């Protein structure tokens, strides 16, 4: 968990993919940076696939496409797995498992900063869609 502290408190920036260049990250950007820096895993940006967060269907399609091509759904998450949530009945939010023993994930939401929460909390448990492990991490 200690190695993930540097990712806490990052500003939300829509379509943010690079902290230095964009000044912040969105949920996929945060996951992308964590996977790249901590797990040597490179995933597509998808920032050119949609215009803004109002295009929930396009964002959901990006998540679906990535899951279908590169990820395997798992029942027992481990550190580094993606955790996907449904918002308004579409896959719309993603975080990274940083402590499977205590159900903690790292994520960021609009109008907020990156933080650690429990995916079993009432806020997230009812939205939990699934846990996914990238093929290169199996």
Q: What pLDDT shows up at residue 3?
A: 93
pLDDT value at residue 64: 85
pLDDT digits (tens, 9 = 90+) for 14-35: 999 999 999 999 999 999 999 9
Q: Which has more pLDDT, 39 or 69?
A: 39
Q: Tell me what pLDDT residue 65 has.
A: 84
The predicted pLDDT at position 60 comes to 87
> How many domains does the chain contain in total?
1
pLDDT score of 136: 94
52: pLDDT confidence band, cut at 50, 70 and 90?
A: confident
Quote the mean pLDDT of the chain.
94
For 81-97, write each residue's pLDDT tens digit.
Answer: 999 999 988 899 999 99
For the segment 53-63, the average pLDDT, to the nearest whole number, is: 86
- CATH code of the domain in which 45 resides: 3.90.1720.10
Statement: residue 1 has pLDDT above 80: no
How many angstroms separate the Cα of 18 from the Cα of each of 8, 36, 56?
15, 11, 22
102-134 pLDDT, tens digit per residue, is 999 999 999 999 999 999 999 999 999 999 999
Domain containing 86 equals 2-137
Nearest to 108 by CA among 85, 78, 81, 77: 85
């Amino acid at each position: 968990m200690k190695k993930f502290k540097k990712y806490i408190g990052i500003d939300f920036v829509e379509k943010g993919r690079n902290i230095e260049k964009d000044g912040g990250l969105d949920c996929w950007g945060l996951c992308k940076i964590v996977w790249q820096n901590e797990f040597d895993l490179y995933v597509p940006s998808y920032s050119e696939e949609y215009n803004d967060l109002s295009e929930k269907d396009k964002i959901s399609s990006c998540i679906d496409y990535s899951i279908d091509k590169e990820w395997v759904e798992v029942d027992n998450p481990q550190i580094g797995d993606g955790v996907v949530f449904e918002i308004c009945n579409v896959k719309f939010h993603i975080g990274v498992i940083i402590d499977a023993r205590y159900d903690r994930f790292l994520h960021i939401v609009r109008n907020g900063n990156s933080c650690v929460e429990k995916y079993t909390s009432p806020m997230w448990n009812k939205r939990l869609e699934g846990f996914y492990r990238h093929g290169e991490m199996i």
